[in-house]
Structure 1
Amino acid sequence: MDMKWLKTFVTAAKTENFHQTAERLYIAQPTVTVHIKQIESLLGVGLFEKKGRNIALTTAGKRFLPYAINILGSFEEGIQDLETWGKGYKHKISLAVSPLIAASILPNFIRIFMKRNPTIEVAINVMESNLIGEAIRNGSADIGLSRVQFENLGLTSLKLYEDPIIAIAPHDGGDAESALPLEFEKVIYENIILSHNHPVYWDDLLFHIKQKYPRICSMVVSQVNVTKRFIEEGLGISFLPRSTVTRELLEGRVLEVFTDKIALPVAGTYVVTKMKSEVINLFITHLCDHYK
Structure 2
Amino acid sequence: MELKWLRTFLLTAKLQNYRKVAESLHMTQPAISSQIKLLEQSLGASLFRKEGRRITLTSFGRSFIPEAQSLIAHYEDMMHRTSRMQQGYNSSLSIAITPLLVDSVFPAILRKFAEDHPEVELEITVAESFDLQELVEDAKVDVALSCLKSTAVHMSCVNLVDEPISLVIAHDGWDTETAPVLDPVEIMATSIIFTDHHPSYWPSLKQQIKDNVSSYRFVKVSQSHAAKRFILEGMGVSFLPLFTARREIQEGRLLPVETPFLELPTSSIFALFNSDDQKISGFVDYLRRFKVT
Q: TM-score, normalised by structure 2?
A: 0.87
Alignment of 1:105-116 (within 5 A): 105-116=105-116
One-letter code aligned to 2:189: Y
Please give the alpha-carbon distance, in whole angstroms, between the structure 2 residues aligned to 1:87 and 1:35.
Answer: 34
For the 8 Å contact 2:100–2:224, the answer to whether it is kept is yes
Q: Deviations over 1:244-271 (max 9, x none)?
A: 1111111122111111111111111010
- Mapped partners of 1:177, 1:75: distance in 2: 66
Aligned pairs, number:
290
Given residue 242 of structure 1, which amino acid in structure 2 is its aligned partner?
L
For residues 189 and 48 of structure 1, what CA distance do their matches in structure 2 show? Answer: 73
Alignment match, 1:244: 244
Is 1:138 aligned with 2:106? no
- Equivalent residue, structure 2, for 1:5: 5
User: 2:27: which partner in 1?
Assistant: 28
Partners of 1:236 and 1:69 lie apart in 2 by 52
Alpha-carbon offset, residue 119 of structure 1 = 1.1
Q: Which amino acid aligns with 1:106?
A: F
In structure 2, distance between residues paired with 1:282 and 1:41: 52
Contact 1:49 1:58 in 2 (8 A): no
The yes-or-no answer on 1:215 pairing with 2:198 is: no
Cα separation, partners in 2 of 1:145 and 1:10, compared to 1, 3 Å? farther
Q: Tell me which amino acid in the other structure corresponds to 2:118.
A: P
Change (3 A) 1:47 1:169: farther
> Is 1:133–1:150's contact at 8 Å kept on the other side of the alignment?
yes
Q: Tell me the SS of whatever aligns to 1:200.
A: coil
**Alpha-carbon offset, residue 64 of structure 1:** 4.1
Structure 1 CA distance for aligned equivalents of residues 50 and 178 of structure 2: 76
- Is the partner of 1:245 in helix, strand or coil? helix
2:178 is equivalent to residue 178 of structure 1:
yes
C-alpha distance 125-29 of structure 1, shift in aligned 2 (>3 A): farther
2:144 alignment partner AA: G
- Residue in 2 that maps onto 1:118: 118
Residue matched to 2:94:
94
Q: Is the 8 A contact 1:181 1:257 kept in 2?
A: no
CA deviation profile, 1:80-109 (whole Å, cap 9, x unmatched): 111111111111101111111133232111
Residue 279 of structure 2: aligned partner: 279
Show CA shifts across 1:217-248 (max 9, x none). 11111012211111111111111111111111
Q: Distance in 1 between matches of 2:165 and 2:63?
A: 54
More divergent stretch after superposition (182-191 vs 42-51):
42-51
Partner of 2:289, secondary structure, is: helix
* 8 Å contact from structure 2 (residues 189, 214) kept in 1: no
Q: Distance in 1 between matches of 2:190 and 2:163?
A: 27
Indicate if the aligned counterparts of 2:48 and 2:55 stay in contact, CA closer than 8 A.
no
Q: Deviation per CA, 1:7-38: give whole Å up to 9, x if none.
A: 2344456677766655665x424344443444
Largest Rg, 1 or 2: 2
- For 1:192 and 1:129, how far apart are their aligned partners in 2? 25
**Inter-partner Cα distance in structure 2 for 1:253 and 1:47:** 66
Between the aligned partners of 2:191 and 2:17, the Cα distance in structure 1 is: 52
Aligned 8 A contact 1:40 1:47 in 2: no
Work out the CA distance in 1 between the residues paired with 2:192 and 2:71. 54
User: Cα 1:24–1:221, aligned 2, differ >3 Å: closer, same or farther?
Assistant: farther
Once structures 1 and 2 are overlaid, which stretch shifts more, 173-182 or 218-227?
A: 173-182
User: Deviations 1:184-210 (Å, cap 9, x if unpaired)?
Assistant: 011101111111111111122112211
Q: Give the match's secondary structure for 1:275.
A: coil
Q: Which runs of 5+ in 2 are unaligned?
A: none
* 1:165 aligned residue: 165
User: Which residue does the alignment assign to 1:203?
Assistant: 203
Change (3 A) 1:20 1:256: farther
Q: Which one-letter code corresponds to 1:244 in the other structure?
A: T
Once structures 1 and 2 are overlaid, which stretch shifts more, 132-141 or 208-217? 208-217
- Kindly provide the amino acid, as one letter, of the partner of residue 163 in structure 2: D
